[in-house]
Structure 1
Amino acid sequence: MDVRAFYEFFAGGGMARAGLGPAWTCLFANDFDEKKSASYRLNWGSRELKTADIRLLTTEDLPKAKANLAWASFPCQDLSLAGVGAGLNGERSGTFYAFWKLMNGLIVENRAPDLIVLENVNGAVMSHKGRDFAAICGHFHDAGYAYGAIIVDAALFLPQSRPRLFVIGVRKDLQIPQVLRTDFPSIWHPRALQDAVNSLPQPIKESWVWWHMAAPALRNFGFSDLIEEEPTGVAWRTKAETRRLLALMSDVNLLKVEKAKSAGRRMVGCVYRRTRLDESGARVQRAEVRFDDLSGCLRTPAGGSSRQLLLIVEGENVKSRLISARETARLMGLPDDYALPENYNEAYHLTGDGVAVPAVRHIAEHLLEPILARRSASVHAAA
């Protein structure tokens, strides 16, 4: 079997590890959050995990065994379109630089990972008019990595709208199979990403790779298939509470509810409460619903309005409740035997802050593993 050893930075609950799968060996994992670390240990054990601020780590904290892959799902808050816009200069997203300091240290010690993968929100492509994306690309180029990026929406695999940026770098002394390259952008390279690449400085652009990755099979299940009949940890809202939720809806959203009533089957909608401007320009709270059998993007619950609500419509019967922690885990592709925190907010934060498991598996199967397989074949041929 090919050697597949990895480091998992900003590990959270180990969702990248879950996506890579049992054929991969975790050498080291890191997260600064004690509560997330408790979940990581509960599901994966404690041997590889070090709970600490990445800015305090040095290469001496990493095992001497060389990793084939360094995975980093670094914080997105400062890069998100919904964030404060501090970008890579922000307190949280700026931890990218601490991660890269470790990578530079490994390079100096001749322990550079064969592959480096960064994962973040797709808004990172446009952050600071593309300057943050260019900075990330520049670090790959300067470190001697060929690199490229793809946008993968979890909706291809799971009933959740969750597009994410994956920047994948390969040491330039390793051969990339030609089948994994393309001369032109593909479905994985939307216009915003193409524009960002076209704006890169020419020297940095010379290391760019347009990745060619197979499309997944069509998803054959929807949001309603993941809903618990008897929810755990959440209660159905009273009829009065549901009426108050409906009262927050605009005419457009109320029409969606009326159409759902006449669908002739159970309809599951997801609801987010958002602040909108009314006709007079005043800020008002609105409830917005979708019935396309697709969940909105899970977010960490910084406040009540960010928690996703469910609206279950069966004819004239309309019920509402919070989405359960187990349902959020299913929306991330975690199996039902994955142990979640007992506290609802902690479980929601863990899942909403993670990476979609099947998206990681698809990237591993169609890009990372073929590259490492070519590396192993070259090593054996040279021996």
Structure 2
Amino acid sequence: MKLEKTAADFFAGIGLVTMGLVKQGWEVKYALDYSDEKRRMYEGNFRGGHYHHKDIREISGIEVPKVTLAHASFPCANLSVAGSRTGLHSGESSTFWDFVRLISEMGELRCGGKPPFILIENVEGFLTSGCGEDLIVALTALNNLGYAVDILVIDAAHFVPQSRVRLFILGNLFGLSQTCDELEQIMSKPTDARPQKVKNFIAANPTIRWSLRKVPDLPQRTINLADIVDETEQWWAKERTEYLFNQMFERHQAQIRLMMQNEYWLYGTVFRRMRVRDGIKQSTAELRTDGIAGCLRTPKGGSARQIIVRAGKGRFDARLINARESARLMGASEYLIPENISLNNILFGFGDAVCVPVIEWIAKNYLNLLFDELNSAMKTSLPAA
């Protein structure tokens, strides 16, 4: 038997994980999400009729085709430091357990139906949620399904001009338990994809069945914020821009004035946050000018919409980041932006997604190598004809 590069994408959203996997030779045979707007965006980019508009709590493992990889980007609301932090057993984040249930059912309902590989994505806060207990419970549940596990933490800023740190769990059914010496040998190899806080977590939890793999360092980003700016977009009127300027701390206003002295455009981003300014807690525009945007968010409120600014040539301009720029910040510049879906829903789709080149990197440097090794091992274990 030979494995094929097939995948199921749970919590698929608008399909950026699908895009990253496809670019590395994988075929997504099944995609699931409960949002009709996300389905319409997904199907506008990926044909084939494999997207299922349904709540994960309503499906059974027998409905999922046999695949080699199962991916899940389950909701982060109860794990994120920006969310409720109520943990893995509450709210939307509890749908992790439905993913576990489905994987179990795939093994029970179909001979050999459990996917050999799993990939799970969530916020970095998963590492510390419940003082680390949520992640321990999740990894133990995957161990109980037969998966040995690994953890990576990757900032999308290595690929695109956006600060977006995410935790990835990788599991496989064929990883043997590693001794403390073997774990230490792999963890001693420097890689920024497995930072010290991840190594500390692994070392502190020897009862977890680990299967760590050597991975290279993450690449150095080659593009900056200026490279993703859509210059066809209209900038705000002077009055609105001045209002934003007056919401800034004095040090940020001074920075803008300095940027305006240049004969070329310099770019930055702004988020509005409640801060104590001039002795009063009030909406404050915080400026960032290091060449990357802040983490894209779902636009649930006015403060969640990120603002792009440019200064130079004696001017200062500002406006909201648009859909095309959001796509570029997610490494999905070729994504087909739909015309029949509201801008807010489009931005929600991108803000709730996974950065495409991060998935490509994981597929190229981890999943594909593991896939090739397993296929080779299965080939050599077959009896001679």
For 1:258, give the aligned amino acid: R
Structure 1 SS opposite 2:81 = coil
The match for 1:95 is 95
The match for 2:167 is 165
Give the distance between the partners of 1:361 and 1:194, measured in 2 at CA.
Answer: 23
In structure 2, relative to structure 1, the CA distance for the partners of 1:289 and 1:340 (3 Å cut) is farther
For 1:96, give the aligned amino acid: F
Tell which deviates more after alignment, 40-49 or 9-18.
Answer: 40-49
Structure 2 regions of 5+ residues with no counterpart? none
Give the distance between the partners of 2:214 and 2:258, measured in 1 at CA.
Answer: 41
Asked if 1:382 corresponds to 2:381, the answer is: yes
Q: Which of 125, 128, 132 pairs up with 2:127?
A: 125
CA deviation map 1:310-340 (0-9, x unaligned): 1111232011111110000000011335234
Contact 1:8 1:17 (8 Å CA) reproduced? yes
The match for 2:17 is 16
Give the distance between the partners of 2:346 and 2:160, measured in 1 at CA.
Answer: 19
Give the distance between the partners of 1:60 and 1:306, measured in 2 at CA.
Answer: 39
Asked if 1:193 corresponds to 2:198, the answer is: yes
The match for 1:52 is 54
Structure 1 SS opposite 2:153 = strand
Deviation at residue 195 of structure 1 after TM alignment: 3.4
1:1-383 paired onto structure 2 within 5 Å: 3-22=4-23, 23-45=25-47, 47-63=49-65, 66-108=66-108, 109=110, 110-172=112-174, 182-184=186-188, 186-200=191-205, 202-204=206-208, 207-231=209-233, 235-278=234-277, 280=279, 282-340=280-338, 342-383=341-382
For 1:300, give the aligned amino acid: T
Give the distance between the partners of 2:213 and 2:175, measured in 1 at CA.
Answer: 18
Contact 1:152 1:359 (8 Å CA) reproduced? yes
In structure 2, relative to structure 1, the CA distance for the partners of 1:303 and 1:381 (3 Å cut) is same
Give the distance between the partners of 1:197 and 1:340, measured in 2 at CA.
Answer: 43
Contact 1:311 1:319 (8 Å CA) reproduced? yes
Deviation at residue 61 of structure 1 after TM alignment: 1.2
Deviation at residue 173 of structure 1 after TM alignment: 5.9
Structure 1 SS opposite 2:79 = coil
Contact 2:224 2:292 (8 Å CA) reproduced? yes
Structure 1 SS opposite 2:80 = coil
Give the distance between the partners of 1:260 and 1:278, measured in 2 at CA.
Answer: 23
Deviation at residue 122 of structure 1 after TM alignment: 0.6
TM-score (norm 1): 0.92
In structure 2, relative to structure 1, the CA distance for the partners of 1:46 and 1:288 (3 Å cut) is same
Contact 2:324 2:337 (8 Å CA) reproduced? no
Give the distance between the partners of 1:174 and 1:29, measured in 2 at CA.
Answer: 30
Contact 1:150 1:211 (8 Å CA) reproduced? no
Structure 1 regions of 5+ residues with no counterpart? none
Give the distance between the partners of 1:321 and 1:155, measured in 2 at CA.
Answer: 22
Give the distance between the partners of 1:215 and 1:194, measured in 2 at CA.
Answer: 15
Give the distance between the partners of 2:94 and 2:120, measured in 1 at CA.
Answer: 13
Give the distance between the partners of 1:293 and 1:173, measured in 2 at CA.
Answer: 40
In structure 2, relative to structure 1, the CA distance for the partners of 1:135 and 1:340 (3 Å cut) is farther
Give the distance between the partners of 1:131 and 1:340, measured in 2 at CA.
Answer: 41
For 1:182, give the aligned amino acid: I
In structure 2, relative to structure 1, the CA distance for the partners of 1:72 and 1:381 (3 Å cut) is same
Give the distance between the partners of 1:158 and 1:44, measured in 2 at CA.
Answer: 23
For 1:141, give the aligned amino acid: N
Deviation at residue 260 of structure 1 after TM alignment: 1.6
Give the distance between the partners of 1:292 and 1:128, measured in 2 at CA.
Answer: 33
In structure 2, relative to structure 1, the CA distance for the partners of 1:151 and 1:361 (3 Å cut) is same
For 1:13, give the aligned amino acid: I
Give the distance between the partners of 1:258 and 1:335, measured in 2 at CA.
Answer: 32
Give the distance between the partners of 1:125 and 1:183, measured in 2 at CA.
Answer: 17
Structure 1 SS opposite 2:82 = coil
For 1:121, give the aligned amino acid: V
Contact 1:260 1:291 (8 Å CA) reproduced? no
Deviation at residue 198 of structure 1 after TM alignment: 3.5
Give the distance between the partners of 1:279 and 1:259, measured in 2 at CA.
Answer: 22
In structure 2, relative to structure 1, the CA distance for the partners of 1:172 and 1:337 (3 Å cut) is closer
Deviation at residue 344 of structure 1 after TM alignment: 1.0
Contact 2:162 2:329 (8 Å CA) reproduced? yes
CA deviation map 1:334-382 (0-9, x unaligned): 1335234542101110101000000000000000000010111122223
In structure 2, relative to structure 1, the CA distance for the partners of 1:182 and 1:84 (3 Å cut) is same
Contact 1:175 1:374 (8 Å CA) reproduced? no
Give the distance between the partners of 1:173 and 1:307, measured in 2 at CA.
Answer: 43
For 2:326, give the aligned amino acid: T
Give the distance between the partners of 2:321 and 2:374, measured in 1 at CA.
Answer: 44
For 1:36, give the aligned amino acid: K
Deviation at residue 149 of structure 1 after TM alignment: 0.5
For 1:112, give the aligned amino acid: K
Contact 1:262 1:315 (8 Å CA) reproduced? yes
Give the distance between the partners of 1:306 and 1:87, measured in 2 at CA.
Answer: 23
